Amino acid sequence: MRAPAELRVVTWNVWWRFGERWEERQEGIAATLERLDADIIGLQESWATREESQAAVLAERLGMQSQWAGPSLPELPDEPESPDHAGVDLGLAVLSRWPILDSWTRTLPSSRDVAPVALVAVIEHPRGPLRVVCTCAEHHAHFGDDHVAQTRELAELVLELAALESPLPVLLIGDLNAPPDGPELAPLLEVMTDAWTAAGHAPDEGVTLSSEHPDAPLGAAKQLDRRIDYVLVRPSAGGRAPEVRSASVDTDRVDGLHPSDHFAVVADLKV
């Protein structure tokens, strides 16, 4: 058990129910999260039905609390591609070692028929309220203006949350679908610290969507072989900037199978 001042954060795009072996991948996702033993987890492309959500299933196994919300990106096909896709939504999830006091969504600018959201969760951390934003930003080049508008909206949201009193920082965790030097990420990096570079890594290290992955989306040229998944932090009013002790990308397989087409990002903070 970590001390209250130590915080492990994981963000992971878990690839919905895509692929032929999604049920096997679920066990790999759960086993990986058990091994990583995080305090806060943000999931993107997380599934939910009327009866249950991936977040709730994982939270029960991990002894955590969870919140799921949608809609999010990518858009699903109009017609289910297999029977176990019918009636299954795609969204975002936050899992927490501590109680989730409150949660809501913020609609992001979009030209799509259905706009994606960011999920905000307020966590009852032993040292005060911990505000977490989980999101998945636009990925398609055709919606490039939306992409920048979304990260600007996210930056505004973070500043609003950071203006609230707390000794703990605001966290933004998610799949931002842009490399660190991309114009899409600039609005967020102007107001937040990238845990990866704060841990001493070069910005262009730490690929989270690799072309060498057997399920790599080879059509996603803008995102492939780049770090597009992030843990970003900003101090709250009255608080201090957290110390980023380490950051890593988890690339391990479980029983020979990659649990997702993305790799998880892990950051250890001292708050």
Q: Would 271 be classed as within a structural domain? A: no
pLDDT at site 23: 94
Count of domains for the chain? 1
Neighbours of 4 (CB within 10 A): 12
pLDDT at position 82: 86
Is 1 among the domain residues?
no
Asked if residue 222 has pLDDT above 90, the reply is: no
State the CATH number of the domain containing residue 235.
3.60.10.10
Q: Is residue 21 part of a domain?
A: yes
Q: Please report whether residue 198 resides in a domain.
A: yes
Look at residue 85 and tell me if it is in a domain: yes
> Is residue 47 included in any domain, yes or no?
yes
Is residue 270 in some structural domain? no
Position 219 pLDDT exceeds 80: no
- Which pTM does this prediction carry? 0.97
On whether residue 179 sits in a domain, the answer given is yes
Q: What is the pLDDT of residues 54-111, one digit of tens each?
A: 999 999 999 999 999 999 999 998 888 888 889 999 999 999 999 999 999 999 999 9
Find the domain containing 89 and state its range. 6-265
pLDDT at 77: 86
What pLDDT shows up at residue 220? 81
1: pLDDT confidence band, cut at 50, 70 and 90? low
> Chain-wide mean pLDDT for the chain?
95
